[in-house]
Amino acid sequence: MDGRSRNSDDEERDDIMRTMRNPLDGRLKKGAAIGATALLGVTLLAGCSSSSDESATDTTSEQTSEESTQMLPPVIVEPGQTEATAKVGDFIDVVVEEVIGTTISTDNPEVLEVSQARQDGDAIFNPGAKALAAGSATITVTGPDNTTYDIAVTVTE
């Protein structure tokens, strides 16, 4: 054998060796990816946490702010219901069988501010009222066929 054939054999062997996959190579890459992901997760969590009293104060003031602006669910008055109780600031949802064409009124607008049933695009809204002040008021519901019924509402502080 001449030096040239050995050289090509060596080159061929080197090419084969370069193309062979190291069995540990995949494990190392997978381990590195898992480690990097874990480190990123820990970093993000550490960035979201706080360790100072100032942050605790900020959180408390945010919660208080959220609580004061949080809307309470409405007081639901079902068809046939003749009495309801609400607190000042509550909304009263008067559920009716035929929303379109139904109107409501109150005998005491200082206690209740009424809102009529309406349709806004595809949305249909029941008639209702907002409790403005403590006291008593009557909501008169008039259906599309002119039938009426009353709901006695007591508003408390």
CATH of residue 129's domain is 2.60.40.1080
Two tokens at 28?
């190392």
Give the list of residues 6+ apart from residue 114 with CB closer than 8 angstroms, or none.
104, 105, 106, 127, 128, 129, 139
Least confident of 40-54, 77-91, 131-145: 40-54
Q: For residue 97, what pLDDT is reported?
A: 93
pLDDT above 70 for 92? yes
Q: Which residue has the higher pLDDT, 72 or 80?
A: 80
**61 and 92 within one domain:** no
Mean pLDDT of the chain: 79
Question: What is the Cβ-side half-sphere exposure of residue 63, based on CA atoms within 13 angstroms?
Answer: 6
**152 and 132 within one domain:** yes
**58 and 22 within one domain:** yes
How many domains, the chain?
2
User: Is residue 28 within a helix (H) or strand (E), and if so which, with residue range?
Assistant: helix 23-48
Q: How confident is the model at residue 70 (pLDDT cuts 50, 70, 90)?
A: confident
Q: Which residue has the higher pLDDT, 72 or 115?
A: 115
How many other C-beta atoms can be found within 10 angstroms of the C-beta atom of residue 113? 14
Q: Which domain holds residue 84?
A: 75-156
Select from 40, 69, 98 the last residue of a domain. Answer: 69
